A and B are shown apart, each in its own frame.
Chain A
Amino acid sequence: MADNLPLEVLKPKDFASDQDVRWCPGCGDYAILNQVKKVLAKMGARKEHTVFVAGIGCSSRFPYYVDTYGMHSIHGRAPAFVSGIKIANPDLDVWMVTGDGDGLSIGGNHLLHILRRNINVNIMLFNNEIYGLTKGQYSPTSPEGKKTKSSPMGSIDMPLSPISVAIAAEASFVARAVDVDKDLGDILERAANHRGASFVEIFQDCNIFNHFAFKYATDKDEKEDATIKLEHGKPMVFGKNRDKGLRLTGDHKIEIVELGKGISEDDLLFHDEHDESLAFLLSRLKHPEFPEPLGVFYSVKDDCYEDLLTKQVTVAQESRGVGNLYDLYNSGDTWEVKNPGEGVQAPGLQLED
């Protein structure tokens, strides 16, 4: 049987399923799919041990296109399916694919809870700031004033930051990447290697309904000034000429400074992936006022829910013995009926005085 054969080395293309990919030509999802397949191959993932779970939306068709186990579930609920899968079999490598509508609107609740429980899953949130599959309504990440079919006079919803939400929800790994950026693969690899719930927001271009929403983060001329790469232990330098940096002010706000003129890299903020407060501050930086951070915001080690639950079973079995049905049925007060059909007088008072 297959068990006795040496493990076959899989290439990215081996992770392609036999289904035709049906995203719109030019969609950012293609780039992400390719990066994921590369990461799977690079990590030596086994197809049969890997599960992709998605909700509903364009991004959520993802499981159909990878030759692993997969579930295209219902809108917003992917985290709950993942939780059940991981509780039932903690050994599986599970990836979850969601979008800004699926993960933050209809499924916002579930996202909070899978993060705080720290279930060992790799969550990719494709953020295109629009509802694509329903043909172009504003989403919970669309900027204020965004004109769409459902907001012809401009959206009056305050958008939320997926990264801020994840940090507030006690996530143990939080990162951001761009669909067409080569760093996406590295970040996904780190996310996959993180034990616990890893959350990666991916800026993804919907070229039909929200084209160029992230032009500032992809355009060669703009991106160096409009984004900043986070590197653990390194000063926060950015700009085409690497001449700008981020500094903490006295009242714990972030400001942009120019290097030189008495300001050196030592005066800048140094990224610390273990600092939750810093991660949150960084998550509030928005284009165009600030460069938007890309990379790993936050990463800490913490126990996983499914491991703790399995441990409770082990501890219970060690301390109380493995349960057997006979004892279960006979627990509590029981009584014998020996002579059926006999109308025996009930016993009187039995008091030990």
Chain B
Amino acid sequence: MTVKSKQEVVNVDKATVRFAGDSGDGMQLAGMRFTDTSAMIGNDIATLPDFPAEIRAPAGTVAGVSGFQVNFASTEIYTPGDEVDALIAMNPAAFKANIRDVRAGGIVIVNESEFTKVNLRKAGYGENDANPLDDEAVAQKYKLYKVPITRLTEESLADSSLGAKDVGRCKNMYALGLIYFLYDRPLDVTVRYLEDYFGKKKKMPEVATANVQALKAGFHFGETAEMFPVRYQVAKAPIEAGTYRRITGNEAAAMGLVTASKKAGKDLIYCTYPITPASDILHYLAAMRNFGVKTFQAEDEIAAVCAAIGVAFAGQLGVTGTSGPGVALKGEAIGLAVMLELPLLVINVQRGGPSTGLPTKAEQSDLFQAMYGRNGDCPMPVLAPQSPADCFDLIIEAVKIALESMCPVMFLSDGYIANGAEPWRIPNPDDIAEFKVTHASDPETFQGYARNDKLARPWAIPGTPGLQHRVGGLEKQHKTGNVNYDPENHQLMTNLRREKVAKIAERIPDLEIEGDATGDVLLLGWGGTYGAITSAKNALRAQGKKVSSAHLRYLNPMPRNVGDVLKGFKHVIVPELNTGQLRTIIRGKYLVDARGLNKVQGKPFLIEEIEQAVNLMLDGKWGDRLYLEPHNHQVRIEDQDLSKYL
């Protein structure tokens, strides 16, 4: 049946909803359920989870606020949305941390039950400060709805056999039910999930029942309370026909790895040490033993990469995954893999740095590390996925390159892609091409460091009669692979290792230009900024501006046409979540006056920030500035001076 509610129904193209609460409030779960429902009724979706590094930061504090943002639309979308259309704030801290991201006129639903004196103080409101809910300015700027969610959840579960604590935990579902009402979404997808997860998997049917009850109660409250004069509908998006699922970057990477191992005819052995935000790849793969996947949780990062190299030496697919600090520790061993010329995949799910940095926040500041972070002249291919689903395709490419070229390959994901989700059109596994590996077997012709047309050496694995050979980190003699210190030989081997990586450019696709091949501004990006850059480019072009974009998925080597692409534009702007790493490489390699839009605030770019930067360029406002930074969501020339902030 369809509810015939009294409220006016307004159709919108897209909406951005953010669930925010204490890190124990179940906001990630609520957000994920909302995402699945939206995806399954045909919206395009993009999500951004944002959680603290502490598992349970002090309850009620701003540091402990966990958020999940989902953008859902009837059009194609590329980002989780710049501004929030509807915020659900489960306590004062969540309100405080998130209110400034809500657009003027946006919806703010607060859990009024939690706006107590004590909680206000925990959130940093002073003794003498007024309750922000009583603030006239707030009420005028936003559509503020005060709903005593905690109390209503308790009342709706008055008959439940659950204890008070468990009842309290259902309030996320109550809030979710309310949002489902507001955006006219069905409950059945979530009901089914709750029954499966709590009822069947966790064997707690009473918890499942209570959650479903709270969900429905929240929905019915919206319907009957006559609080909300307007409901919103977001129609299906015109997406390509097919079967879809929601996928995060880490999930896609795990599935891509399993796929690559099957297509290569190799066992996947994932050697790793837990680290945020890469650990989920381990969790997914550890549950895939029935695919023949072995996971090795090593004693440290160094052991993890060394074990993966051992796997490769023994003839299987060795992969190690980590984040920036882990790559720092693995550097010496990656250099060994360059020297041994064995296939290895290194996954870096980047996070904010340096050092421990911002473990749960997004940044792309490990490009230099990937390119240059080893001793000696030590080149390796570097690939970076541009979206969660792209992790699937590109990680297969990365494995293929490692096996074909017999070298370590760096896969540079980031926390934004890894945890963000988007719809993924499920491929037919049979349509993915095989790339079966062959091993050396003929003792008559075998030479450990002879090379094929890709400059790869033969992969001779233990167990093969007559091919016994020794590898090691000492310089190798060309062809024989024996230890060698001859000056000309070291020059030759260094050149060969470089050329082997450079030659990969012959096998990768050209850099695609989105928009015209010539114009005023080219936005050149890499990694997880694809969505924001594409959206900004689309918006600027809709205004008639001569702006195009291009996104590098292959950073080393770069596609052969990059130099030609750059030549077509008066200005090149490289938006990056770092202080200008790709920009520096582009300037050095192609001698073009590339400028940067650089942000290291733990958050992805807003579309608006990129648009502003481009407009300033088109208006001739950049001057000699090498880069601009957004501050508080605005890119302004007057904000660029560091001394202003000291």
Asked whether A84 lies within 8 Å of B314 as measured between CB atoms, the reply is yes
Least CB separation from B241: chain A residue: A340
Among listed B84-92, B183-191, B520-528, B592-600, interface-contacting one: B183-191
- The answer to whether B468 and A69 touch across the interface, beta carbons within 8 angstroms, is yes
Contact A89–B462 (Cβ < 8 Å) = yes
| Stretch of A175-183, A261-269, A291-299, A316-324 on the interface side | A316-324
Using known A-B contacts A48-B462, A328-B291, determine if residue A85 contacts B42 with beta carbons closer than 8 Å: no
Instruction: Tell me the minimal C-beta distance from B198 to chain A in angstroms.
Output: 16
Q: Once the chains bind, are A347 and B41 in contact (CB under 8 Å)?
A: yes
Q: Are A80 and B467 CB-contacts (below 8 A) given A333-B245, A350-B186?
A: no
Residue of A nearest to B305 (CB): A80
CA distance A49 to B269 in the complex (A): 21
Chain B minimum-CB-distance residue to A5: B465
In this complex, what residue of B is CB-closest to A90? B314
Q: Which of B41, B303, B307 contacts A87 (CB 8 A)?
A: B307
A68 touches B244 (CB 8 A): no
Q: When the two chains form their complex, are residues A335 and B472 in contact, meaning their CB atoms are under 8 A apart?
A: no
| Chain A residues with CB below 8 A from B240, complex form | 337, 340
Residues of A with C-beta under 8 A to B462:
48-51, 69, 85, 89, 92
The CA-CA distance from A70 to B460 in the complex, in Å, is 12
Interface stretch (choices B109-117, B155-163, B231-239, B377-385) = B231-239
- For A318, the closest partner residue in chain B by CB is B290
**How distant is A139 from chain B, measured CB to nearest CB, in Å?**
20
Name the A residues within 8 Å of B468 (CB-CB).
17, 47-48, 67-70
A330-B185 contact in complex given A316-B290, A347-B41, C-beta closer than 8 Å: no
Contact flags A322-349 to B (C-beta < 8 A → 1, else 0): 1111101110111111111111111111
Chain B, 453-491, contact with A by CB distance < 8 Å: what is the 0/1 string? Answer: 000000001111111111111100000001100000000
Tell me if A89 and B242 are in contact (CB < 8 A).
Answer: no
Chain B residues within 8 Å of A53, by CB: 310
Q: Does A71 contact B (CB under 8 A)?
A: yes
Q: A91 CA to B482 CA in the complex, in Å?
A: 27
**Closest residue on chain B to residue A329 by CB atoms:** B426
The verdict on A64 contacting B185 (CB below 8 Å), with A48-B467, A70-B470, A344-B236 known, is: no
Bound CA–CA A93/B333 (angstroms): 23
Which of B17-25, B255-263, B346-354, B571-579 forms contacts with chain A?
A: B255-263
Do A335 and B39 touch (CB < 8 A)? yes
Q: Do B310 and A88 have beta carbons less than 8 Å apart?
A: yes
Q: Does B40 sit within 8 A of A, measured CB to CB?
A: yes
* B544 interface residue (CB < 8 Å to A): no
Verify B311–A351 contact, CB threshold 8 A. Answer: no
Chain B residues with Cβ under 8 A from A322's Cβ? 290-292
Q: Tell me, rounded to whole Å, the shortest Cβ–Cβ distance linking B188 to chain A.
A: 5
Given known A19-B482, A80-B310, contact A92–B463 (CB-CB < 8 A): yes
B305-359 residues at the A interface, CB under 8 angstroms: 306-316, 318, 332-333, 336, 340
- Check B3 for interface membership: any CB of A closer than 8 A: yes
Residue of B nearest to A330 (CB): B426
B residues in contact with A88, CB < 8 Å? 267, 269, 310-311, 314-316, 318
- Asked if A333 contacts B303 (CB within 8 A), the reply is no
Nearest residue, chain A, Cβ from B244:
A335
- Chain A neighbourhood of B336, CB < 8 A: 73-74
Residues of B within 8 A of A326 (CB): 428-429
A216 to chain B, nearest CB (A): 35
Chain A residues, Cβ within 8 Å of B428 = 326
Q: Is the CB of B244 within 8 A of A337?
A: yes
Q: Give chain A residues whose Cβ lies under 8 Å from the Cβ of B461.
A: 89
Q: Which of B187, B189, B236 has the most CB of A within 10 A?
A: B236
Give the contacts of B27-52 with A (CB-CB under 8 A): 36, 39-43
Is the C-beta of A247 less than 8 angstroms from some C-beta in chain B?
no
B450 on the interface (CB 8 Å rule)?
no
B167 lies within 8 A of chain A by Cβ: no
Partner of B314, one of A72, A92, A309, A334: A92
A312 within 8 A of B: yes
* Inter-subunit contact A330/B245 (CB<8 Å): yes
A110 contacts B by Cβ under 8 Å: yes
Interface residues of A in 74-90 (CB under 8 A from B): 74, 77, 79-89
Q: Given the interface contacts A334-B245, A349-B3, does A110 sit within 8 Å of B303 by beta carbon? A: yes
B241 contacts A337, CB within 8 Å?
A: yes
CA distance in complex: A345, B235 (Å): 5
Question: Taking the complex as formed, is A190 at the interface, i.e. its CB lies under 8 A from any CB of chain B?
Answer: no
| Interface hub of B39, B246, B303, B332 (most chain A Cβ within 10 A) | B303
Whether A251 sits at the interface, judged by CB under 8 Å, is: no
Tally of contact residues, A, Cβ under 8 A: 78
**A109 interface residue, CB < 8 Å from B?**
yes
A313 contacts partner chain B, Cβ-Cβ < 8 Å: yes
Q: Is B103 among interface residues, defined by CB-CB distance under 8 A?
A: no
A9 within 8 A of B: no
Bound together, the chains give a CA A346 to CA B72 distance in angstroms of 12
A153 located at the interface, meaning its Cβ lies under 8 Å from any Cβ of chain B in the complex: no
Min C-beta distance of B212 to chain A, whole Å: 11
Shortest Cβ distance from residue A93 to the other chain B in the assembled complex, whole angstroms: 9
A353 an interface residue at 8 Å Cβ cutoff? yes
How many interface contacts (CB-CB < 8 Å) are there between A and B? Answer: 270
- Please state if B309 and A49 are interface contacts (CB–CB under 8 Å): no
Q: In the complex, A350→B465 CA distance in Å?
A: 66
Shortest CB distance B342–A (Å): 10
Q: A63-B470, A88-B269, A316-B290 are in contact. Are A347 and B306 (CB under 8 A)?
A: no
Q: Pick from A315, A328, A334, A343: contact of B236, CB below 8 A.
A: A343
Instruction: Report how far A243 CA is from B182 CA in the complex, Å.
Output: 94
A113 on the interface (CB 8 Å rule)? Answer: yes
State whether the Cβ of B216 lies closer than 8 Å to any Cβ in chain A. yes
In the assembled complex, B539 has its CB within 8 A of some CB on chain A:
no
> Roughly how many angstroms separate A79 CA and B309 CA in the complex, as a whole number?
12
B128 within 8 A of A: no
Query: Is the pair B318, A317 in contact by a Cβ cutoff of 8 Å?
Result: no
Contacts of A316 in B (CB 8 A): 289-290
Note all chain B residues with C-beta closer than 8 A to A87: 269, 294, 296, 307, 310-311
Min distance, Cβ B241 to any Cβ of chain A, angstroms: 5
Report how far A70 CA is from B482 CA in the complex, Å.
Answer: 12
Contact B239 A337 (CB under 8 A): yes
Residue of B42, B188, B238, B473 touching A335 (CB-CB under 8 A): B42
Q: Which of A91, A92, A321, A337 has the most CB of B within 10 A?
A: A337
Whether B310 and A323, one on each chain, are in contact in the complex, defined by CB atoms closer than 8 angstroms, is: no
**Complex contact A348–B309 (CB within 8 A):** no
Q: Which residues of B contact A51 (CB under 8 A)?
A: 314, 462
Are the C-beta atoms of A325 and B259 separated by less than 8 Å? yes
In the complex, what distance in Å separates the CA atom of A333 from the CA atom of B471?
47
Instruction: Report how far A347 CA is from B483 CA in the complex, Å.
Output: 70
Task: Report yes or no: A345 in contact with B233, Cβ–Cβ below 8 A.
Answer: yes
**Cα-based distance from A5 to B434 in the complex (angstroms):** 35
B1 adjacent to chain A (CB < 8 Å): yes
Residues of B with C-beta under 8 A to A336: 242-244
B291 contacts A323, CB within 8 Å? yes
Q: B628 contacts the other chain (Cβ, under 8 Å)?
A: no
By a CB distance below 8 angstroms, the chain B residues around A351 are: 1, 3, 186-188, 216
Q: How far is the CA of A290 from the CA of B267 in the complex (A)?
A: 51
- Closest 3 A-B residue pairs measured CB to CB? A84-B310, A72-B472, A80-B306
**17 extra interface residue pairs, beta carbon distance < 8 Å, beyond A87-B311, A329-B429:** A51-B314, A69-B462, A69-B469, A70-B470, A77-B333, A81-B313, A83-B298, A83-B310, A84-B312, A86-B314, A316-B289, A316-B290, A324-B429, A337-B240, A346-B233, A352-B188, A353-B1
B residues adjacent to A (C-beta < 8 A):
1-3, 36, 39-43, 74, 184-189, 193, 216, 219, 233-236, 238-246, 255, 258-259, 262, 267, 269, 271, 288-294, 296, 298-300, 302-304, 306-316, 318, 332-333, 336, 340, 426-429, 461-474, 482-483
Task: List 20 contacting pairs A-B, 8 Å CB cutoff, sorted by A.
Answer: A69-B313, A70-B471, A72-B472, A73-B472, A81-B307, A84-B269, A84-B313, A84-B314, A88-B311, A88-B314, A89-B462, A92-B462, A323-B290, A325-B258, A334-B244, A334-B426, A335-B41, A340-B239, A346-B234, A350-B2
